[in-house]
Amino acid sequence: MATVTLKPTKVPELMFEGYSITPDAFAGKTAAQIAELPGHEGKIHMKLGDFFEVSGNAGETAADTDIVIAGDCTRVKYIGARMTAGTVTVNGNADMYVGGWMKGGKIHIKGNMDSFCGIQMEGGELLCDGDAKNHVGCAYRGDWRGMKGGTIRIKGSAGNDIGTFMLGGTIIIEKNAFIHVSTHAEGGTVVIKGDVEGRVGGQMVRGEMYVLGKIKFMMPGYKKVDTVEKEIDGVKATFDHYIGDLGERHPKSKGQVVYANLYLKAAA
């Protein structure tokens, strides 16, 4: 494994679109070649070298390349977007589209992330030690095919629109979330370990949701069917099992109507 270290040298005046910061773009390049990779600040064509000091050469393939950003990327978009293998570690915050459309590899953000992280993700792992803003693992505007695979784990809280139009994969929010969890989803699993304001599973066709805290406003289209013992992400508990969204269309499988399942931790 070869490690490429990017040290931020300048804060972009606008936002820097660092769509080249992926192991795929770096693979097979020397530090000097990596510094020449393109990016955008508004309409201006920039180079990675304009904002980062690059050290270390990349591995032969994306899978052999580790990228470490030794500093804050609050104003850098598209880190690890569309990557297929390798790792990216950011020792600070990151802006929008972290791991968007990613197919494989691993991203670790040690600070907070902005919106649209992991949108349309198809595989790989996205880990964030801080909070994420809105549209975690969501679909791009107008696309009915959202996140298809992979894992997103946010150790802090997240905003609204988590896993909209989700088809597969797992999203784990270790603290709280605001509104709209798995809206329109047709698969996948969302685990929220804290509290949610509301709108959990609106218009959801199928898929699983686990809420270990409280839901302040329950969707009227969910009906409690039973109480079950389940283990999810290392937590074993008794859950109230709801099915829904009864207001939405639902397909049939083997003669049975398929509903989305919401497991809400039962009050002790």
Strand partners, 181: 162, 200
Residue 194 or 198 with smaller CB distance to other proteins: 198
**Cis amide linkage into residue 161, ω under 30° from 0:** no
φ and ψ at 62, to 5 degrees?
-60, -40
Q: Which residues bind other proteins (CB under 8 A)?
A: 13-15, 40-44, 96, 115-116, 134-135, 140-142, 144, 160-161, 165, 179-180, 183-184, 198-199, 202-203, 217-221, 223, 245-248
Strand partners, 7: 53
Residues 6+ apart with CB under 8 A from 62: 22, 23, 24, 26, 27, 83, 84, 85, 86, 105
Residue 14 or 228 with smaller CB distance to other proteins: 14
Residue 131 or 161 with smaller CB distance to other proteins: 161
Residue 257 or 268 with smaller CB distance to other proteins: 257
We find the least distance from the C-beta atom of residue 221 to other proteins, in angstroms, to be 4
We find the least distance from the C-beta atom of residue 40 to other proteins, in angstroms, to be 7
CA 212/CA 181 separation, integer angstroms: 14
We find the least distance from the C-beta atom of residue 113 to other proteins, in angstroms, to be 14
We find the least distance from the C-beta atom of residue 37 to other proteins, in angstroms, to be 16
Residue 56 or 146 with smaller CB distance to other proteins: 146
φ and ψ at 91, to 5 degrees?
-90, 60
The CB-side HSE value for 248 (13 A sphere, CA atoms) comes to 22
We find the least distance from the C-beta atom of residue 195 to other proteins, in angstroms, to be 16
